[in-house]
Structures are given as C-alpha cells and as structure tokens.
Amino acid sequence: MRVGRMIVKKNGQHLSDTDYEKQLYELQVQLVKFQRDLIARGERLAVVVEGRDGAGKDGTIKRITEHLSPRDTRVVALGKPSDRDRTSWYFQRYTGYLPAGGEFILFNRSWYNRAGVERVMGFCDESEYKSFLHEAPQFEAMLTRSGIKLVKYYLDISKKEQKERLAERQANPLKQWKISPIDAAAIKKWSAYSEARDAMFMHTSHDAAPWHIVKADSKKQARLNVIRHLLSCMDYKGRDEKLLKPDPTIVFRFSEKTLTQDLLAH
C-alpha cells in the first residue's frame, strides 16, 4: 500500500498535496457555477468515463460530483445485464438513464462495455461486437442531435501502474467492494485489452462525440485535468479562463497519430 505524502508534477514543477487541494477546490467552485447555469438553461450533459480496471474512474467521478446538486447529478454504474437486457436492443438499457433538462449524468463505464470487457472476455459474439462498432457512432450522433452534450473520456494507465493499484485494492479493506474476478484477467489479458481499446477508438471516435484520452498514472493530475478539460468545453456564467487550461500532454483528443506515435500504454 502506498504511504506518505504524494507529490506529482505539472509542467516540470512539483505539485504538493496542498497545491492539489487548492486547485481542486477552485475547479469544484467552477463546477458548481457551471451546474447552476446548466440547470437555469435546462441543458443536458452526459459524460462517459472509461478505462482499464484500476485507472481511477471512481476517484475522478467522485471529485467531479462531490459538491454538485444530488437532485440534478447522477452517476450511472450498471451491473451485469439481466436476462431481459440480453434479449433487448443493446443500447436500450442505457436510454432510461440519459439526462433530462438541467441534468448532469456521468456513466462510470457505459455502453462501451461491449467494446472492452465483453469483447475481451468473450461475453459477446463477433456479430454483436461488429454491430456495436457500427452502431455506437450512430447512437451517439442521435443523442447529440437531440441536444444532449456528450463528452467521452478514457483513462489510460501503464501496466506497471495497474499492477500496483490492483495489488493495493486487494490489501485495502475499504476497497474490497471493487474486487471482482475480472481483476485477475486484467493483467493476463493486457494485450487483448490494448487491442480492443485501439479498435474502439478507431471506430467510435467521431466529430459528434470524439474520445479524449487521459494519461492517468498520476491520479491527481488526471482528476484536475479532466475537470479543467470538461469545463473548458462548456459555456457558462462565471467562467474563470485562467483555471480552465488542461495540460495537452495529459488530456488530448484521439486521432490516428495517437496510435502511430505511441501515445497510449501498451
């Protein structure tokens, strides 16, 4: 288990825990201002947070929602599909969770389970997988045409970092609820997950809803920069521009050069 005071870097400078908490507070104030404006305008926001096991999805979402209105903010983290879900249109189980006016919804994993864990673990067949890659951009384009703002993040971590985090999860009695049989396969099937991730990006990053990759070996940098990036995409009263400048080496939009320039963990 990791102990001690964590120090992370930003733009070549050390960032202490105190500085991190200060920056997080300032960004969370901006999130509250953003949500107040979102509610007033009756706009709809859906954020998809994906990534490997141990990538820090829960912690990132927690920092985003920590001080937001519980009536207008929901985190959607669905369990295994039911028998009824398995015989329904694949996207059907997610449509009931989409935001209404003034709502901010975060999907902690999403319909992209089919492109990741279901693909790697054999929980879907080849036909279902190929149909998903074809239909996901169409589904998302339909959502954005309806007025939903859709933002997608993928938290990317190294194999070494994943091993350490999953080992810490096993040792920490407060994180036992996170442990699942899938954890054991995460490391063994690292390459298969990498291939599935890359294929997912190539087929489902589109103009209506592009993928944004987050380098997440530093949890704190990932959290701060996801919030900065998310807020920088939004127009709201009280925006403090100087706070909303994400580090482009930590959060960046997917393109084919992301693969050719070795910008992802393999």
46 pLDDT band (50/70/90 cuts)?
very high
**Alpha carbon distances (Å) from 2 to 136, 165, 172, 201:** 39, 9, 10, 32
Q: Is the pLDDT of residue 74 over 70?
A: yes
Instruction: Give the tens place of pLDDT for each residue, 172-215.
Output: 888 888 877 777 788 899 999 999 999 999 999 999 999 999 99
| AA identity, residue 126 | E
User: Is 230 inside a domain boundary?
Assistant: no
Q: What is the mean pLDDT of the chain?
A: 93
The pLDDT assigned to 189 comes to 96
The pLDDT assigned to 160 comes to 97
Least confident of 36-40, 157-161, 186-190, 248-252: 186-190
Q: Is 14 helix (H, G, I), strand (E, B) or coil?
A: strand
Gap between the Cα atoms of 61 and 243, Å rounded: 19
Q: Is the pLDDT of residue 1 over 60?
A: no
User: Is 191 inside a domain boundary?
Assistant: yes
Gap between the Cα atoms of 216 and 249, Å rounded: 11
CA-nearest of 44, 24, 62, 31 to 178 is 62
Q: Name the domain count of the chain.
A: 1
Q: Is the pLDDT of residue 5 over 60?
A: no
Gap between the Cα atoms of 88 and 73, Å rounded: 27
Instruction: Give the tens place of pLDDT for each residue, 116-141.
Output: 999 999 999 999 999 999 999 999 99
Instruction: Give the tens place of pLDDT for each residue, 89-99.
Output: 999 999 999 99
Give the domain extent around 161.
Answer: 42-215+254-260
Burial class for 228, CB neighbours closer than 10 Å (0-12, 13-18, 19+):
buried
Q: Is the pLDDT of residue 27 over 80?
A: yes
CATH number at residue 146: 3.40.50.300
- The proportion of the chain whose per-residue pLDDT surpasses 70, expressed as a percent, equals 95
- The proportion of the chain whose per-residue pLDDT surpasses 90, expressed as a percent, equals 86
User: Is 210 inside a domain boundary?
Assistant: yes
The pLDDT assigned to 60 comes to 98
The pLDDT assigned to 3 comes to 34
